[in-house]
Structure 1
Amino acid sequence: MTLSPAQEPAAGATAEPTAQPAKENTKTLYGGTGSRRVTVRDVAAAKGRGEKWPMLTAYDAMTASVFDESGIPVLLVGDSMGNCHLGYESTVPVTMDEIALLSAAVVRGTKRALVVADLPFGAYQEGPVQALRNATRLVKEAGVGAVKLEGGERSAHQVELLVSSGIPVMAHVGLTPQSVHAFGGYPVQGRGEEAAAQLLRDAKAVQDAGAFAVVLEAVPAELAAEVTRSLHIPTVGIGAGAECDAQVLVWTDMAGLNAGRVPRFVKQYLALRELLGGAAKAFAEDVVGGAFPAEEHTFH
């Protein structure tokens, strides 16, 4: 292409750069930079921007550090540790001691992520005072930035006291795994006009009580979209369709570490169980065959 005289650079002039260097991105949740922790104010701002963001569970310092370095802005020390980390059949047996111990490890393993810890079954059902006592322990001893508890209208008073006492709360409605015995399993919640209306009331109740976000679990996508439009706080979906503000997965599900049936809402991004099993077999064969330790692994 031939430039016109008006387009030609003047003698001795330096050509303008074709692109300006990207500015440091400190605002976005996923992929944002900066040395400080993500806060609930950052989460609220993301809702205003229409930014979708990811959340994963974490239960130890090393795994948490990987997710933190990967830019995951919010990590949940979930009572799902009961199923996938501690060998329980459900989340119900998980104790405050277990949550506190693993939450502290996750905090130590991270620098940027907002760490949210679950209040386990039996840690808040007695009422707001019990909830405050146990949530305070997680903030003081483990160093978490927020707690999560299950229930909508029935837990609104607990949410209100925690928030008024300076402890941010993420709520959890829809399928609440701590109620597995009452539900008789893990059925989808909010189907039918009455159930949908109750779920919307639950979400608004925890919002009005001061929750900074609410998890919607195993909820029809259309209902989750309606709830998301109705709230000014972010919704975090797990089996609740694509219209939620954020999405969360249990990391062992996401990475393919668990054996057996995978829930419908899970996408596996890695076959970690197969990879770990293969590494263990390779190690064992090297030991049995005398190939390990080799000279380079030996001191003299």
Structure 2
Amino acid sequence: MSTTYTIDSSTSRATPVSAPMKRLTVPAIRKRKGGDPLVMLTAYTVRMAQLLDPHCDMLLVGDSLGQVVYGLPSTIPVTLEMMAAHGAAVVRGSYHSLVIVDMPFGSYEASPQQAFESASWMLKQTGAAAVKMEGGTAMAETVRFLTERGIPVMGHVGLTPQAVNALGGYGARGRSQEEASAIIDDGRAIAAAGAFALVVEGVVEPIAIELTRSIDCPAIGIGASAQCDGQVLVAEDMLGLFERTPRFVKKFEDMAGRISAAVEAYAGDVRSRAFPGSEQTYAPKN
């Protein structure tokens, strides 16, 4: 048994509670290659981590928080400090899922040494088990450098949002033979360098299937193929919190509609003075 900080949902206060530490490990995730599909979603807060944790194998603290949480135009402005704050929150709110934190743009590309310093700081600050880095063949040396020094790395190839300026947008990748071959080479290089898993984003399905079958670590698809070893989505997208979402998102719920209806009801009760009622106010003691 171990103690982790979680939110007591009855009081909305952070309190230390005893929880069995049955958290999945990096080797356990790697062994799932070709087995039951792995489930991964993004999480940025304690409460969301608590809700997702029982159903997921991995929670990704994605740099997509730049857009989802902070309203930024892309992931480019996200900082190490932002990722660390949210990463620590997600670790506190979970005890089952493996927690991976995105390394933000500019924190790892310059050299393997820079990547090690950034990643080791991130793991110390958050308590997460691994980091995720975008990039293909050019990042293979860095992935090897980190994994040989005890830092588990999840790779990310195909549509890489941090390279949106170079790619020219968020369109699907791999439509040309040249680009398809480059994506396959990128994925194989990152897997061979020691990545324990690989996100394959926004690529045409045959390329995703070929890459999944040609590497020895799990391929986690997002806008790729059901034949990947697992899937990841931004939780807020699949919950329907945004009106517009990418083509590859399936909305499993209309949370935006539910929240809007609840707030409309609240506003009506406030304006009619129906809230607060006797159940929500305090009577004087006799």
Once the two structures are superposed, what CA deviation does each residue of 1:177-231 show, in whole Å capped at 9, x if it has no partner?
A: 0011111111211122211111111011111111001111011111110111111
1: CA distance, partners of 2:80 / 2:194: 23
Matched residue, 1:216: 200
Asked if 1:38 is matched to 2:19, the reply is no
Query: What SS does the corresponding residue of 1:150 show, helix, strand or coil?
Result: coil
Matched residue, 2:13: none
| Matching residue's letter, 2:124 | K
2: CA distance, partners of 1:153 / 1:294: 63
- Within a 5 Å distance, the mapping from 1:99-118 to structure 2 comes to 99-118=83-102
Equivalent of residue 146 in structure 1, options 130, 133, 156: 130
Matched residue, 1:183: 167
Equivalent of residue 274 in structure 1, options 249, 257, 271: 257
2: CA distance, partners of 1:184 / 1:196: 17
Number of aligned pairs? 264
| Matching residue's letter, 1:132 | F
Query: What SS does the corresponding residue of 1:116 show, helix, strand or coil?
Result: strand
User: Pairwise CA RMSD of aligned residues?
Assistant: 1.0
Aligned-residue sequence identity (percent) comes to: 47
Once the two structures are superposed, what CA deviation does each residue of 1:1-37 show, in whole Å capped at 9, x if it has no partner?
A: xxxxxxxxxxxxxxxxxxxxxxxxxxxxxxxxx7421
Unaligned runs of 5+ in 2: 1-19
TM-score (norm 1): 0.86
Matched residue, 2:215: 231
1: CA distance, partners of 2:121 / 2:262: 39
Equivalent of residue 136 in structure 1, options 107, 120, 136: 120
2: CA distance, partners of 1:119 / 1:35: 25
Matched residue, 1:31: none
1: CA distance, partners of 2:187 / 2:113: 22
| CA contact 1:84–1:258 (8 Å) conserved in 2 | no
Equivalent of residue 188 in structure 2, options 182, 188, 204: 204
Equivalent of residue 265 in structure 1, options 225, 248, 268: 248
Once the two structures are superposed, what CA deviation does each residue of 1:103-154 show, in whole Å capped at 9, x if it has no partner?
A: 0000000011100000000111111111111111111111010000000111
Query: What SS does the corresponding residue of 2:27 show, helix, strand or coil?
Result: helix
Matched residue, 2:147: 163
- Within a 5 Å distance, the mapping from 1:59-98 to structure 2 comes to 59-69=44-54, 71-98=55-82
Task: Return the structure number with greater strand share.
Answer: 2
Unaligned runs of 5+ in 1: 1-33
Question: Which of these two proteins has the greater Rg computed from alpha carbons?
Answer: 1
Equivalent of residue 108 in structure 2, options 114, 124, 128: 124
Higher relative contact order (CA 8 A, sep 6+): 2
TM-score (norm 2): 0.90
